[in-house]
Amino acid sequence: MKNILMTALALTCAAGLNAQDPLSADSKFWYTAIKGFVIRAAEKMPEANYSFKPSPDVRVFGQIVGHIADDQYYFCSTAKGEQKSSDIEKTVTSKADLVSQLKQAFAYCDSVYNGMTDAQGVEKVKTFAGEHTRISMLDFNTAHMYEHYGNIVTYMRIKGLVPPSSEKKEQ
Amino acid sequence: MMKSMLIVALAAAPAIFAQQAQTEAQILKGAYNGIKNNLTKAAEKMPEEQYSFKASPDIRTFGELIAHVADVQARICSAAAGSEAPASPAGKTAKADLVAALAKSYEVCDGVFNSLTDADASKTMSMGRGGARSEFGTLWQFIIAHSNEEYGYLAVYMRLKGIVPPSSEGRGR
């Protein structure tokens, strides 16, 4: 877990601060940090464990991956001012398809984060819970992924796998 | 255990935004209050005897996760406030001590978040290495994103013990 912070710190130092668009630059920065870990975790978890859940009343691993992809479309399309929805969590089960869908969702969000300026970011858009700024949708998307990456890490540990954010530490 | 944290945070936000123009500082505060509520309730809800539980042998116990969150939050918010960080709770195991340490970290962070304005968006802070960093970015990463990640672990620990995590109360998952 600590490696996420160390990686982020190192990246921050390398990237420096974007004086022109500091809010959107930060938003994109933390999104990029968690994106790599989520994709690698999805790739690393064996197909057989995509149906694993640690207790009866929570999502299986594959559903978490699908849920992240679905919500990325929701948050990023809302930030962009589009309406884009998907139902990956409930309709896709194979690892190959879920990893592919996850990458496609990230590709869609990449375009939104990359195109966002601070001026656009503070514009309001309609969401399921009232009007919020575009950049808040992107930040909620990233926070949401961090929460679910925490779920994913625990699932992987229970299955004896080292999550991507701890790989270097435990080599 | 998943989407509800965001729904609660977003649903709570309009009441704030209805009164005044939405600002980036208020967005940050809304996200902060959402995860603060979940972590505080999780620490209180987990029974004392489960504070030594961990989901697999090579990761932190529930109590160690609470200590870690409290420690990181207190250090980052103290750095933002320019004050000395409270003593680290590392090594403490009693629920009461860890709940108190988490509350103390939030006391420090409340002071930082409650005084944030959009003018602080261009403000930098130092963490002792790596040079100047965006204050908004640092708070967002270490107090919002990192704490959400840790909450993601805690939620699974609670589920493994048959306990519904705070973000899912009334929802099932």
User: Which residue of chain A is at minimal alpha-carbon distance from B12?
Assistant: A129
Q: Classify residue A146: in a domain, yes or no.
A: yes
Q: Provide the pLDDT for residue B98.
A: 98
| Rounded Cα gap, residues B70 and B98, in angstroms | 8
Mean per-residue pLDDT over chain A, rounded:
88
Q: Classify residue B159: in a domain, yes or no.
A: yes
| Rounded Cα gap, residues B1 and A103, in angstroms | 23
Interface predicted TM-score (ipTM) of this complex, two decimals: 0.82
Q: Classify residue B22: in a domain, yes or no.
A: no
| Rounded Cα gap, residues B39 and B30, in angstroms | 15
Q: Classify residue A12: in a domain, yes or no.
A: no
Tokens in use for B165?
Answer: 């995590």
Q: Classify residue B58: in a domain, yes or no.
A: yes
Question: Lowest-confidence range among A72-76, B29-33, B105-109, B121-125?
Answer: B121-125
Single pTM value for the model: 0.86
CB neighbour class for B31 (10 Å; exposed up to 12, middle 13-18, buried from 19): buried
Q: Provide the pLDDT for residue B45.
A: 98
CB contact under 8 A, A147 and B151: yes
> Residue B54 maps to which CATH number?
1.20.120.450
Q: Classify residue B32: in a domain, yes or no.
A: no
Q: What percentage of chain B reaches a pLDDT higher than 70?
A: 83
Q: Classify residue A14: in a domain, yes or no.
A: no
**Residue range(s) defining the domain that contains residue B107:** 4-17+37-168
Which of these, B147, B18, B99, B128, lies nearest to A1 by C-alpha position? B147
pLDDT tens figures, A141-168: 999 999 999 999 999 999 999 999 999 7
Q: Classify residue B26: in a domain, yes or no.
A: no
Task: Please tell me if residue A113 touches chain B, with a CB cutoff of 8 Å.
Answer: no
pLDDT at B67 over 70: yes
Q: Classify residue A79: in a domain, yes or no.
A: yes
CB neighbour class for A161 (10 Å; exposed up to 12, middle 13-18, buried from 19): middle
Task: Please tell me if residue B169 touches chain A, with a CB cutoff of 8 Å.
Answer: no
Q: Classify residue B13: in a domain, yes or no.
A: yes
pLDDT at A104 over 80: yes
* Residue-wise DSSP of A141-163: HHHHHHHHHHHHHHHHHHTT---
Residues of A with Cβ-Cβ distance to B132 under 8 angstroms: 17
What is the residue whose two structure tokens read 């933390």? Answer: A30
Q: Provide the pLDDT for residue A171.
A: 53
> Residue A139 maps to which CATH number?
1.20.120.450
Mean per-residue pLDDT over chain B, rounded:
85
pLDDT tens figures, B46-62: 999 999 999 999 999 99
Number of domains in chain A: 1
CA angle A132, A135, A137 (to 5 degrees): 60
Number of domains in chain B: 1
* Residues 3-62 (B) with a CB less than 8 A from some CB of A: 3, 5-7, 9-11, 13-14, 17, 22-24, 27, 30-31, 35, 55-56, 58-60
Question: Lowest-confidence range among A9-23, A91-105, B159-173?
Answer: A9-23
pLDDT at B14 over 80: no
**Residue range(s) defining the domain that contains residue A71:** 2-6+23-166
Closest CA–CA distance from residue B88 to any residue of chain A (Å): 16
pLDDT tens figures, B120-144: 877 888 877 667 777 888 898 899 9
**What's the full length of chain A, in residues?**
171
Task: Please tell me if residue B136 touches chain A, with a CB cutoff of 8 Å.
Answer: yes
pLDDT tens figures, B72-122: 999 999 999 999 999 999 999 999 999 999 999 999 999 999 999 888 877
